[in-house]
Chain A
Amino acid sequence: MSRSKSEDGPSPTSLTLVTVQILTSLGRGPMHGYGIKLDIEERTDGAMSLGSGTLYQALKRVEKQGLVSSFESDDEDGRRGRHYALEPLGQEILERELAQMQRMLTWTADGARGTESPA
């Protein structure tokens, strides 16, 4: 991963929530499109249920950004179809994004305590 390439990629904060979820799902291994949808639904307890248009539009974007690649393969039922996998750049971005979220959560929790303590 060259430095210049990572600069060409999106900065972590520009990722949409949908993108983060897709990258997270693919972090568990390659999946087909509908598999990603079900994975996200499971992880979010059904709070995020992606429609096909939204999903493939997001996939199109991350593929173009070089975060994800696709290939033809058989799925678990033996049906042939396109699968998506995380690229190293996608892996790096995802990790940065998650770290950023982690910091944000910590900061929010500190802030909440900070406001409570004087009381």
Chain B
Amino acid sequence: MNAPQDTAPGNKNSGPNAIELAVFRLLMRAYGRPFCDRYGVELLTFFRRDRKRDRFAGLLGTVRFWRHTLRDLAAAAAQERRIDRTDAWSIDSVRQDLASAFRQVRADPIFSLSAIFILAVAIGANSAVFSVVNGVVLRPLPYPEPENLVRVLVRFMPESGFDFEAFPPSPAEASAYAHDSTVMEEVAQYVHVDLTLNEPGQDPDRVQGIALGGRALPLLRVRPELGRWFEPEETMPGGPAVAILSHAIWNGRYDLDPAILGRTVTLDGTPTQIVGVMPEGFDFPHADVRVYVPYQLDHSNPGGWSNHGIQSVGRLAERFTLAQAGDELEALNEAWRAEYGHPQAGHFLYLEELHGSTVGEVRTALWMLLAAVGLVLLIAAVNVASLMLARGESRGREVWLRMALGARRGRIIRQMLTESLVLASVAAALGLALARVALDAILLIDPEALPRAEGITIDSPVLLFTLVISVTTVMVFGLAPALQAASADLSKDTRTTETAGKKRLRSTLVSVEVAICVVVVLSAGLLGRSFAELSRVDSGFSADGRLTFGMFLPRTTYPAAEEVRVGVHALREQLEGIPSVQSVAYTSSLPISGNGAYPSFSIEGRPLPGPGERALSALTIVATPGYLQTMGIDVVSGRAFELDDLEDRPLVALINREAATAYWPGEDPLGQLISFRGEGSPWVRIVGVIDNVLAGGPVEEIGPQIYLPFAQQQGFWNATSREGSFVLRTAGDPLAVVAAARRAVGTVDPLLPLDNIRTVRDIVDSSLSQQRLTSSLLASFAAIALLLALVGVYSIVSYSVARRTREIGIRKALGARRGQVLWLMVREGAAPALAGLAVGLGLSLAVTSALADLLFQVSPHDPLTFVALPLVLAAVAILASWIPSLRAMRVAPVEALRSD
């Protein structure tokens, strides 16, 4: 035992302090459990003794000691864990990997820029579409526990005489439900009301309003930001006139002035006190609502059961599910039918989640878009993988050398993945910027295409999504080339040999790209065809050169039918006086607006339909003479309205072709008499049949329609519609007459605002906005997919040509014909592309069925699309293979033989 002295006499160094010991104990864990169990005591003894040595005294000594200790620990711990020292996840090696990755990225700028660009476009498109999905579909409704909110709707079965999927209930039904249900915490009613807002010194304004039942806000659990909610007496008929403002109008019109509370404004001619302001973000039932007024209903006497027309929302009590509520409602429907009899026959109430109901049908389209754009990302990833593979082979020598020098496969893979990660990070950052731009563009295509569009923004869920897809993409495009590179066979110099495996992998990638591309392109093709069909739907009227705006004549100034009639007449005369206006008409309901009443009627000489028999009903529209001419609607037979179809003249009506075939099949409807109010009411003579006019969107079927002269409406249903729209046919740009129209209206009544001023063309266009958005987005994704797939095909052939120059030379020298060599090369790209095309077609057949709901008059397996597009794709793929193959033809045999 002759160990030398480890401490010198007079040693001022007393050894490690408690902190140092604790730190070392902690660091020792790096060796792993087994090593510490066996050598832990000795390691600590060693540490104590070593620390005591003179050479480690003082500050410098301490530094030296720790440097020494740490270096030893890092090396030994790495070894102990059977990891190559350089392979450890140490900061150093990660930094090394990053530095090397950046070097590689800079070393080959063309490759790097292409990869970054491809990925950025795909990531950007994904982030943009996800922002939309997130804002519209995923974002919860802005009320507490939104999942418990439901909408109450009515379904009319054909035996009711009507056939409506989703119809608003009657106040009586909603009141009965609120009263009888045990699973609903609250049920409230509301109804859309547009209101004319007048204030001294300000232009009249027509604003969207909601009349809310007294229990609506407690149900939504949202308190006004300022002021209070409606008092019970304010929600009773004849109660005081009060209103609550939305945050938007408080901000926009009143500059957030708190003194707005208690102020009196005029709403539809009635002095109304402002009693509250709703908080920002409260957008019930949608973001365009500016004013809330009480829905004044006497719940003890809610009116007839058939008076459908209010909306109803409910909140499930916490312990119940939607399914339980549905079961209960089914039982209640039965009970009501038994109790109230006929009015409840053939239709029933049902529930729908408020969220789904708010988002609407766009949900399907948005998920489809997200799936499509996800496929584009996949193509982009495969494309970059393919590029990396090609480059990986040119880097084969580097990898070969590093492995020969002892680098492990794991390390090489990590190095390659780090490079991919660097590319993907840059692409993700760029992609987010692109997403920002794309989002603006999407919202610009048509701001009306999306519900809840105000919530679409690039926020943290979108950033998280971008992060996730970027990392996933790295895994997809980085892993295959990394594994490929690391599988380098040390016994071969990879520079000059290409294994069959590598070639197969590259071909497979091209096939995959093409297959996915086919799915996206065919889907876009189907949707494009569908959109074309929609655009071709005959609207029955002319849209161009027509201006329209809404008009409401309030009861305060126009108390009775006569005043309304005179008012509309005066307005029409003034508007007709505008120089570039060719004709003017007023109607209760514009085409495509979806508005209108569906009263039932009877036909002279026919019995009334019995219970369970289909009732006679039609969309009934009131219009002034000249409406057909102003809207460009054709008369099929008989005549149009005439100026002397006045109140005191025989009552007349026009019907559309659909009504003629539905109710007078094989008969001439001209001269037939109909009546709207049962026995004893006046008969109306049908004097003309006109073309079918789109009442809702182009997707909806055109049902029977009846047109009645505005001047006679009091006569057949004893009511006057105060609300309607003017249509102006103009010589030039319709919007050029807006100012003149305002002046004209102002000369009749300065308190009347022009509401919702639009061209008719605009109305037609927005009826397709959702489909336009969907199909144009999908078309752009298809374009990107196609471009990427072509780049894939092109590059595989170019690469092959470059690689086989020598072979081509030999073949030529041996007398191969031009065509043979050319075909040899074209095949390199065309074969995998055509294989991908076949697989893609098979996939598409399975996938496009999911599009059925989005297609209009086009089958999900539309033969034209499924034959024409693949033919085009095949031709393009062959062309993409052809162009680089031509280079092979220029190879001179002698030169080629010299090439390496």
Contact = CB atoms under 8 A, between A and B. Distances in A.
Contacts of B80: 53, 57
A29 B45 CA distance: 20
Nearest to A79: B45
Interface in A24-51: 28-35, 37-39, 42, 49-51
B743 to A, nearest CB: 93
A42 to B, nearest CB: 5
A52 B38 contact: no
A39 B4 contact: yes
Interface of B: 1-4, 6, 31, 35, 38-39, 41-43, 45-47, 49-50, 68-69, 71-73, 75-77, 79-80
B6 to A, nearest CB: 6
B543 to A, nearest CB: 83
A81 interface: yes
B178 to A, nearest CB: 77
A57 B32 CA distance: 12
A111 to B, nearest CB: 28
Contacts of B39: 56, 59-60
A110 interface: no
Contacts of A6: none
A58 B43 CA distance: 13
Contact of B38 (A30, A37, A60, A81): A60
23 contacts: A31-B3, A32-B42, A32-B45, A34-B50, A37-B50, A38-B4, A38-B6, A51-B68, A51-B71, A51-B72, A51-B73, A52-B42, A52-B50, A56-B35, A56-B39, A56-B43, A56-B76, A57-B35, A57-B76, A60-B35, A75-B3, A76-B1, A76-B3
A100 interface: no
A54 B76 contact: yes
B76 A51 contact: yes
Contact of B42 (A30, A39, A56): A56
A57 B79 contact: yes
Nearest to B31: A53
A82 interface: yes
Given A37-B46, A60-B35, A52 B1 contact: no
A20 interface: no
A81 B31 CA distance: 21
Interface string A66-83: 000000000110000110
A55 interface: yes
Contacts of B46: 33-34, 37, 52, 55-56
Nearest to B73: A53
A82 B42 CA distance: 8
B4 A53 contact: no
Nearest to A28: B2
A59 B80 CA distance: 12
What DSSP secondary structure best describes chain B's contact surface?
helix
B78 to A, nearest CB: 10
Contact of B3 (A38, A53, A55, A60): A38
B21 to A, nearest CB: 13
A42 B2 CA distance: 12
B68 to A, nearest CB: 6
Given A56-B39, A82-B42, 15 more contacts: A28-B2, A29-B1, A33-B45, A33-B46, A34-B6, A34-B50, A37-B46, A49-B68, A51-B71, A51-B73, A52-B72, A52-B73, A53-B75, A53-B80, A81-B45
B79 A42 contact: no
A60 B79 CA distance: 12
B49 A54 contact: no
A68 to B, nearest CB: 14
A30 B1 contact: yes
Nearest to B44: A52
Nearest to B3: A35
Contact of B77 (A53, A59, A82): A53
B51 to A, nearest CB: 11
A91 to B, nearest CB: 18
A86 B72 CA distance: 25
A72 to B, nearest CB: 11
Contacts of A56: 35, 39, 42-43, 46, 76
B44 to A, nearest CB: 9
Contacts of A81: 41-42, 45
Nearest to B27: A53
Contacts of B4: 38-39, 42
Contact of A54 (B3, B38, B72): B72
A99 to B, nearest CB: 25
Contacts of B38: 60
A22 to B, nearest CB: 14
B1 A31 contact: yes
